[in-house]
Amino acid sequence: MGLRAEMQQSEIARLRGRKSPRPSHGLRPSHNQAAPFALIEAQQGGLRIVAVNSAGTQAGIRPGQRLADARTLIPGLDVVERDMAGDEARLVKLAAWATRFTPWTRAEELSPLAHEGAGLFLDISGCAHLFGGETALLQDLLTRMNRLGHDARAGVADTLGAAWAVARHGQQKISIVKPGAEREAISSLPTTALRISQGMADDLTRLGLMTIGDLLGRPRAPLVARFGAVLGRQLDAIIGARAEPVAPEAVRVPARARLLFADPLIALDGIIAAIALAARDLAGELDNRQQGARQLRLRLYRVDAELFTFEAGTSQALRDADRIAALFAEKLVPSGGVSGSDIDIGYGIEGVVLEACAVDAMGARQKDLTSGPEDGSSLEELIDRLSNRLGANRVMQLKGQASHIPERAQVAVPALAANDFKESDVPPLVMYGDAPLRPIRMLTPPEPVEVVAEVPEGPPRQFRWRRMLHAVTRADGPERLAPEWWLPADKEAATRDYFRVEDGEGRRFWLYRDGLYERETDAPRWFMHGVFA
């Protein structure tokens, strides 16, 4: 696995144009991080501190403190008004960015009353070994968070509650609780580590219950009777007696390929090469499953936590790596390009994730005895490329429907979804003799024409269409089509008599008389419905 990653890095490095500088993007706080800094909010009693950085904490500033009191300690304290909506949006964005480590990520709910702020929940089960272990993963995570301007802490435990507690109240910036050692790790932590309100924690303190260990050693029933069921639930959750899974923001996908880079890719060619490598891995995964992708999603992780997402669909199940890569290569153009989706590479792309969001069963296909198995045809490839370049609803394909009315006999559906159309709904066409000719091009809707014809059921002798008079030299018909009376839309419809006619210059037309003379109407109307090639 390590050798393979080195080969991938080598191939991408070969295509890389230049060394990228480290980012100094706008996400980094403008203030000096080494100086005391705090967020303030207007609350009852005036402006109060709601969050403070490490330098401020060391200087004695505390959340909940009045700003006036804080400035008696530090007269020049740098403060900014709290932005709850901005914080929530930023947290959701960070959760999406964290999917570079694991797809199971979730942003913690941001409470306006909480002074500790909010964090991210990551389920790294089965992912840590890809980054060199849990410690290496957390170090990498915190390093990247620090580059983004966040002073973060991290904890790992078998339960979500224990991980939250040691991350916020542990002695180290990175805390890892060994499996089965949750009680020992959390016993000395304050009761606020249970994720309960500050008021409940203060009440427990007045009773002499200072730590979680004090609560775990007491009978549960009296505690619940006095403080409510929430205290019991939090105690059960932190020791694993109650399940508390990480419900991810992202939907689980059947197959995924991931590439992460020590140095960001800053050249478009390098990014496209990385996508090709990811497509190769994804195709291998799909081949093992005997499946093909119908919906694909590409995620590009920029170094400043900006996430670019591209989606592509396929007309048939697909697992050809080159075709998968080609679908996304066409979408990537530098900012200001004339086609595809703009992408601002900025200071580089540090991760590529390619996912098969929807799959179908797919076996090997072979055209003849001498050729090898193939996944598709050139027509399918053309449909995929056009649909993903122009839009799925701009490349249409005609499919049959159960109706003998010409304009209803076919329906245009997106070519990507044409194979999902239920053709079994169309009954087999029963004909006696040769099937009647239909023009290749039909007019929608049919256009009215002025006709001179024999009554009651004779063919046209001449007709005027689009201001031109046509004398009919040959005529074939009528082909009578009754309305579909069982449909509500056809209750008042009339019978149609279709004629194939030819004028003196050899042009052939498809006309019909709407209504039977003296049986359905005294003045039937005529319409032009198509032109033969």
**25-36 pLDDT per residue, tens:** 433 445 566 788
Range name among 241-245, 427-431, 492-496 with the lowest pLDDT average: 427-431
The stretch 373-388 carries a mean pLDDT of 71
Q: 10 Å Cβ neighbour count for 464?
A: 12
What pLDDT digit, counting tens, does each position of 276-312 carry?
Answer: 999 999 998 888 888 888 889 998 888 887 888 888 8
Kindly indicate the confidence band of residue 395, based on its pLDDT and cuts at 50, 70 and 90.
confident
pLDDT band, very low/low/confident/very high, at 499 (cuts 50, 70, 90): very high
pLDDT band at residue 80, thresholds of 50, 70 and 90?
Answer: confident
Residue 106's contacts (CB-CB under 8 Å, 6 or more residues apart) are 95, 120, 121, 246, 247, 248, 249
Using CA atoms, how far apart are residues 256 and 266, in angstroms rounded to an integer?
Answer: 23
Residue 333 binned pLDDT confidence (cut-offs 50, 70, 90): low
Q: Decide if 323 contacts 381 (C-beta within 8 A).
A: yes
Output DSSP code: residue 522: S
Residue in 281, 239, 235 with CA at minimum distance from that of residue 258: 281
Name the more confident of 13 and 72: 72
pLDDT of residue 447: 92
Q: 497 - beta bridge partners? A: 480, 513
Window from 176-185, 335-344, 378-387, 408-417 with minimum mean pLDDT: 335-344
Comparing C-alpha atoms, which of 49, 45, 46, 41 is closest to residue 65? 49
What is the rounded distance in angstroms from the CA atom of residue 284 to the CA atom of residue 304?
Answer: 31
Three-state secondary-structure class, residue 55: helix
Q: For 400-414, what is the mean pLDDT?
A: 80
Residue carrying the six token digits 């909506």 = 85
Q: Does 527 have pLDDT greater than 90? A: yes
Which distant-in-sequence residues (6+ apart) come within 8 Å of 322 by Cβ?
276, 279
Element housing 227 (H / E):
helix 220-227
Task: Kindly report, residue by residue over 455-481, the tens digit of the pLDDT.
Answer: 788 889 999 998 889 999 988 878 888
β-strands 373-374, 365-366: how paired?
Answer: antiparallel
pLDDT score, position 17: 38
CA distances from 323 to 6, 313, 377, 443 (A): 25, 12, 11, 37
| Predicted structure pTM score | 0.57
Any alpha helices (H) in 350-507, and if so which ranges?
378-390
Cβ count near 26 (within 10 Å) = 9
Check: CB of residue 389 under 8 Å from CB of residue 415: no
Q: Cα Rg for the chain, rounded, in angstroms?
A: 35
Percent of all residues in the chain with a pLDDT value above 70, rounded to a whole number: 84
Cβ contact 227:84 at 8 Å: no
Token representation of residue 302: 């920029």
- 464: which strand partners? 450, 469
Look at residue 145 and tell me whether its pLDDT is greater than 70: yes
The pair phi, psi for residue 233, each rounded to 5°, is -65, -40
- Beta-carbon contacts of residue 371 (< 8 Å; ≥ 6 apart): none
Residue 207 confidence (pLDDT): 86
3-class SS of residue 448: strand
Identify the residue with better confidence: 247 or 327. 327
Amino acid (1-letter code) at residue 148: L
Q: Are 419 and 428 in contact (CB under 8 A)?
A: no
Instruction: State how far the Cα of 355 lies from the Cα of 295, in Å rounded to an integer.
Output: 8
Both tokens of 334, joined, read 């530098």
Separation between Cα atoms, residue 359 and residue 354, nearest integer Å: 14
Mean pLDDT, residues 205-233: 86
What is the distance between the alpha carbons of residues 238 and 184, in angstroms, rounded to a whole number?
12
pLDDT-derived band at 510, boundaries 50, 70, 90: very high
SS3 225: helix
Coil vs helix vs strand at 274: helix
How many CB atoms lie under 10 A from the CB of residue 276? 19
The two structure tokens encoding residue 191? 């009761």
> Is 122 in contact with 246 (CB distance < 8 Å)?
yes
Can you tell me whether residue 58 is helix, strand or coil?
A: helix
pLDDT at residue 10 greater than cutoff 60: no
Of 466, 474, 525, 470, whose CA–CA distance to 499 is shortest?
A: 474
